[in-house]
Amino acid sequence: MDVIYHHGRTELRIRVVGLSLQTRGNIIMDAQNVSFGKPKAVGGVYIAPAGTTLPTDGTTALTGAYVNMGYISEDGYVQSIETDTEEIKAWGGDVVLTAQSSYKETHTVNFIETNVNTLKAIFGAANVTENAGKITVNAKSTPLSECIVVIELALTGGRVKRVVIPHAKIADRSGDITYSDSDAVVYPAKFSASPDTSGNYHIEYIATTTLSA
């Protein structure tokens, strides 16, 4: 990076080689903060029943109530935020105020394992049974129950991110489940988030860890 010293009208510029830090104005940029969003090796998506105690940091192991949903498609995890705004105009057409009229947040993953856990998430826990390795799915129009979703991500530099969605629900169940001889069976899961008592739609924890990821 370039370190610049000013003395009167004299400028001294020193270039430091071998560091990832750079400066732009008063902002320090660090390439170590640029990251991929890979799933942790122990699993990427977990679901627990509503009311389960929430994790409060990025590294403490999840309790047994959080069920690992297995492999997720290569599309990864998509976090989407949609807002609507309303412009208030003065006489003459000038925009003098902008108000946010709505906020919507969704979290989307695609399950690619066909097992009892993914099927319960897609069709409802009460509609899927397993007995001696045999699974029965009763597909019904009954709305799915609310749940807690946790996304576990491995970032670069030995860091991890944990996304906690306290009030999640697959409200929009539209989507195709395609069976073919060339692609994996994919179960699309689009979770709508609702705010908790503090107004949080989701909480993110980022930490540095020596645990495998």
pLDDT in tens, 93-114: 899 899 888 999 999 999 999 9
As a whole number of angstroms, the distance between CA 4 and CA 6 comes to: 7
- β-sheet bridge partners, residue 102: 84
Percent of the chain's residues with pLDDT above 90: 62
Q: How many CA atoms lie within 13 A of 138 on its CB side?
A: 7
| pLDDT-flagged residues of the chain (< 70) | 1-43, 210-213
Cβ-based burial of 202 (10 A; exposed 0-12, middle 13-18, buried ≥19): buried
Q: How does pLDDT run across 154-174, given as a tens digit for each residue?
A: 888 888 999 999 999 998 888
As a whole number of angstroms, the distance between CA 175 and CA 88 comes to: 38
Query: What pLDDT, on a 0 to 100 scale, did the predictor assign at position 16?
Result: 40
CB atoms near residue 133 (< 10 Å): 6
Q: Amino acid identity, residue 43?
A: G
pTM: 0.76
Query: What pLDDT, on a 0 to 100 scale, did the predictor assign at position 55?
Result: 96
The backbone torsions φ and ψ at residue 154, rounded to the nearest 5 degrees and listed phi first, read -105, 120
Distance between first and last Cα of the chain: 31
As a whole number of angstroms, the distance between CA 43 and CA 111 comes to: 12
As a whole number of angstroms, the distance between CA 168 and CA 125 comes to: 15
As a whole number of angstroms, the distance between CA 32 and CA 25 comes to: 19
